[in-house]
Chain A
């Protein structure tokens, strides 16, 4: 059932463009039905899962390497699955309105549904290899989504940046997961969860930890890898909303939560998570304030939220993990709503600049309500679920082992900055009266597919804040239990009485308001800090990418000279040196002293070939060189006939003929035949050629001697008719025993054909002066119409 849930998304993604073409006006609603039904399915699992049941499903994939498509549903996966499908429903429905009439909307749904299915697979995967596959699939589908407006250069480079950063992290993760599997003796996560003692004492523990964290930190945009996330704002609003609320960046958080029972207890794990998370949450909130673009501002608050989640996982007490789960849910709800609201603002006004936008509450009343509710949740104000999350965070920080005051101060600073950022985002754009515009367009009607997306998660945030019992007994406790690996009792409420947490909350609000007022009065000072966002790691990335390109260019120039004789020389010389060195090192040059009885006509053929080779070398015209080469080829074919290999001989004859035809076809295009190499290089070429010939002769003689040892040809000879129903051993090897090789070869042959065709036919018209060069694509179109 779980595997069906994952596969259904991929299956629908395949047919999305066709369905969209069939009913373009309704497609958003149609596609939203799939995540909706998946949401209902996972919702119905809540009671079973919170009762302590864990569901495991497995489909064998490559048992030799322990890889399987196995799925595992427990409290933690369930929370993520509900967020992915729930927000997925709203966001896909919203996409229909937001990108209404976009020419590539069908393709957009493919990416979006694929994205959802990959993320669902990731959080449900039990096998570490399949987890890695889904992990990479989310990177890949987000690449397509961020670069959806691919005609813009900035969108393309942002997509590439996201792919490279998360892709490199993904490779590190693969290595880490394989080590984890080796150490724990299983590739299945639910089996690894019980092996923490063995894993922690394993010699590979520290490298494994570093590699897994590298994967998680790049994906979840922790400092110093946070820069790709704000760049990813190049994608359309629904993409940003999904990427930030439930998918992609949450994958890293999921991973650290999932593996928390395995790694918890090691100081390295707790310290690095708390440190990176703490720095990230403060950096994110600070950089958020200085932004003017709504989406960029929100992106940095996501960096803050992700830092907070990693930070809490690092603290690692049951209370902190419980706070992480509640904050995860709160964050997903308010972030989804805010991004979709920003999308509506952009869609209706054409601007996302918080300095310019004014009086949105008149034009978009419903969106204003949604944005304010979500914003209050983000700022951690009662009675929203964000407030409960923040209280829990303070409670866990205060009771944390180690430097509790420092952690509390960090959390307080981050939350106060976040509150100020919320003020920047909402207060002036929505509530300050506009001076220039008239109020004539007040009460602008926004269609349902645009307002439903922002309103529902905001309302859910309010409902869960007012009725925290909906969460505490079932979902949160089973998720926290899964992360803490022991039973966690959860009681959530809005009002705890006068507690240290409440005092901290009040201090946060006061501090945050002070920061906001300072921001308003000193905007020019704020602007001076904006360079921070573009400096730092983003710059390193750019420099690194340029250096990589320069290196690639240099080594391509070095290896790919474009001169055929260089290539041939390199290939032959490498072969000769490598083979000769190996043969000498292993003392393989044992040439058996058998007396070879050479018949007269064989000698005749060989002498003919040697003469032809000499003629080819000394030839003064290209045609005579080709003919001489042909003589050598036919000589080889005659030898094949003599030694009873008719298949080879036939092929050789035809290939020789084809080669001559090819030469004849191109010969008049080639420049005049002349000797361009000097005496020295000719001598060198001669030495290389002779060495290659001598080596091949030795190899053949050696191979003649060891032939007795090989049982392969015997196997083929005896089994050809028995197993493969064929008497021609050569052919049976080609089409049956070694069928995979042949498949590879014919694929290469096809590619070579396409390559030659492309080189000859799809060139822009060269040499026509004064005429604009036609592009290769238009040429192709012309070609297809001509045919």
Chain B
């Protein structure tokens, strides 16, 4: 038996919440937000889905084991540290490039941003690993 109000609300809320989490992640470098907060919001979204539809559905939606998300995140964070090493600087030294967008505008992309994406994924993965395992029970 599924609560109608919760499932309906979840259906509409989920895309917006995930969008919010991505928004928080990417604005984090200049305005309040960041990988940690964004990751928690995204994890909260999936937990909401879990309450509305059950663990099996949430796992199906995720497609991958949350442990894989954790591992990927760690790898990305570690990898963005290695970029600094490759240029001869100490591990985790920030590296930035500017992608030209035309009309004199440019997009700053740097290893701290990819590092933050790694943090984001680790937070999602670890939180979901714990909470989904608890929700599943024995």
Which A residues are within 8 Å of any B CB, using their own CB? 646-647, 650-651, 654-655, 657-658, 661-662, 665-666, 669, 723-728, 730-732, 734-736, 739-740, 742-743, 746-747, 749-750, 752-754, 756-757, 760-761, 787
Closest to A734 in B: B34
Taking CB atoms, residues of chain A closer than 8 Å to B123 are: 746, 749
Given contacts A728-B33, A746-B119, A752-B130, 7 further A-B pairs with CB under 8 A are: A658-B40, A658-B43, A662-B130, A731-B116, A735-B112, A740-B92, A754-B67
9 pairs, CB–CB < 8 Å, chain A vs chain B: A658-B43, A727-B29, A728-B29, A740-B91, A743-B78, A746-B118, A753-B66, A753-B129, A757-B67
Give the distance to chain B from A52, nearest Cβ to Cβ, in Å: 37
Which residues of the partner chain A approach B81 to less than 8 Å between Cβ atoms? 739, 743
Task: Give every chain B residue within 8 A of A752 (Cβ-Cβ).
Answer: 126, 130
Which of B31, B33, B44, B112 has the most CB atoms of chain A within a 10 A radius of its CB? Answer: B112
User: Would A757 and B32 count as touching, CB distance under 8 A?
Assistant: no
Contact of A662 among B29, B34, B125, B131 (CB under 8 A): B131
Whole-angstrom distance from the CB of A434 to the nearest CB of chain B?
Answer: 61
**Whole-angstrom distance from the CB of B42 to the nearest CB of chain A?**
10
> Is the Cβ of A747 less than 8 Å from the Cβ of B74?
yes
- Known contacts A658-B44, A750-B125, A757-B130; is A650 also within 8 Å of B32 by CB? yes
- Whether A736 touches B112, Cβ cut-off 8 Å, given contacts A651-B37, A654-B40, A761-B133, is yes
Q: Given A725-B96, A734-B36, A750-B71, answer yes or no on A658-B133 (Cβ-Cβ < 8 Å).
A: no
What residues on B are CB-neighbors of A757 within 8 Å? 67, 129-130, 133
Taking a contact as CB atoms under 8 Å apart, the answer to whether B133 and A743 are in contact is no
A655, A723, A726, A753: the one contacting B130 at CB < 8 Å is A753
Q: How far is the CA of A734 from the CA of B118 in the complex (A)?
A: 12
CB atoms of A753 and B125 under 8 A apart: yes
Q: Is the CB of A654 within 8 A of B41?
A: yes
Contact yes or no, A665 B29, CB < 8 A: no
Q: How far is the CB of B50 from chain A (nearest CB, A)?
A: 9
B residues contacting A by CB (< 8 A) are 24, 28-37, 40-41, 43-44, 47, 65-67, 70-71, 73-74, 77-78, 81, 91-92, 94, 96, 108, 110, 112-113, 115-116, 118-119, 122-123, 125-127, 129-131, 133-137
A787 proximity list for chain B (CB < 8 A)? 65
CB neighbours (8 Å) of A734 from chain B are 34-36, 116, 119
Q: Tell me whether A731 and B33 are in contact (CB under 8 A).
A: yes
Docked CA distance A757–B68 (Å): 13
* Of the residues B96, B110, B122, contact of A746 by C-beta under 8 Å: B122
Q: How far is the CA of A318 from the CA of B97 in the complex (A)?
A: 64
* Residue from A646, A749, A761 in contact with B126 in the complex, judged by beta carbons closer than 8 Å: A749
Closest B residue by C-beta to A739: B92
Would B135 and A665 count as touching, CB distance under 8 A?
yes
Chain A at the B interface: SS class: helix
Residues on A with beta carbons closer than 8 Å to the beta carbon of B115: 735-736, 739, 742
Query: Is B40's CB under 8 angstroms from A651's CB?
Result: yes
Provide the residues of chain A in CB contact with B116, threshold 8 Å.
Answer: 731, 734-735
The closest CB in chain A to the CB of B135 belongs to A665
Q: When the two chains form their complex, are residues B40 and A655 in contact, meaning their CB atoms are under 8 A apart?
A: yes
Contacts of A647 in B (CB 8 A): 32-34, 37
Q: B134 and A760: CB pair below 8 A?
A: yes
> Taking CB as reference atom, which chain B residue is nearest A754?
B67
Q: Out of A646, A736, A749, which one reaches B32, CB within 8 Å? A: A646
With A726-B30, A743-B77, A750-B71 known to touch, is A662 a contact of B122 (CB < 8 Å)?
no
Give the CA-CA distance A752 to B33 in the complex, in Å.
Answer: 24
* Assembly CA distance A730 to B35 (angstroms): 12
Q: How far is the CA of A736 from the CA of B113 in the complex (A)?
A: 9
**Is B77 touching A746 in the complex (CB atoms < 8 A)?**
yes
**Contact residues in A for B29 (Cβ distance below 8 Å):** 725-728, 731-732, 735
Q: Is the CB of A735 within 8 A of B125?
A: no
Q: Give the residue among B44, B65, B116 with the most A Cβ atoms within 10 A.
A: B116
Determine whether the beta carbon of B33 is less than 8 Å from that of A746: no
In the complex, chain B residues whose CB is within 8 Å of the CB of A728: 28-34
| C-alpha gap A36/B105 in the complex (Å) | 60
Residues of B within 8 A of A669 (CB): 137
B-chain residues with CB within 8 Å of residue A655 when the two chains form the complex: 40
Question: Which of B94, B119, B129 sits near A756, CB closer than 8 Å?
Answer: B129
- Which one, A662, A724, A746, contacts B112 given CB within 8 A? A724
> In angstroms, how far is the closest chain B Cβ from the Cβ of A651?
6
The answer to whether A731 touches B73, judged by C-beta atoms less than 8 angstroms apart, is no
Q: Give, as a whole number of angstroms, the nearest-CB distance from B126 to chain A.
A: 4
Residues of chain B lying within 8 A (CB to CB) of residue A726? 29-30, 112
User: Which residue of chain B has the shortest Cβ distance to A783 in the bound complex?
Assistant: B65
Distance in angstroms from A730 CB to nearest chain B CB is 8
Name the one of A650, A662, A727 contacting B37, with C-beta atoms under 8 angstroms. Answer: A650
Alpha-carbon separation in the docked complex, A334 to B133 (Å): 60
Say whether B44 contacts A746, CB under 8 Å.
no
Complex CA–CA separation, A669 to B137 (angstroms): 9
- When A and B form their complex, which 5 residue pairs have the shortest distance between CB atoms, in order from nearest? A753-B126, A646-B32, A753-B129, A726-B29, A727-B30
Please name all residues of chain A whose beta carbon is closer than 8 Å to the beta carbon of B119 when the two chains form the complex: 734-735, 742, 746
Q: Which residues on B sit within 8 Å (CB–CB) of A724?
A: 94, 112
Q: Which residues of A contact B113 (CB under 8 A)?
A: 735
Minimum C-beta distance from A236 to chain B (A): 35
**A750, B126: Cβ atoms closer than 8 Å:** yes
What is the distance, in angstroms, from A601's C-beta to the closest C-beta of chain B?
Answer: 21
**Bound CA–CA A761/B33 (angstroms):** 33
Contact B122 A735 (CB under 8 A): no
> Are B73 and A658 within 8 A (Cβ)?
no
Q: Which residue of B lies closest to A756 (CB)?
A: B130
CA distance A517 to B83 in the complex (A): 72
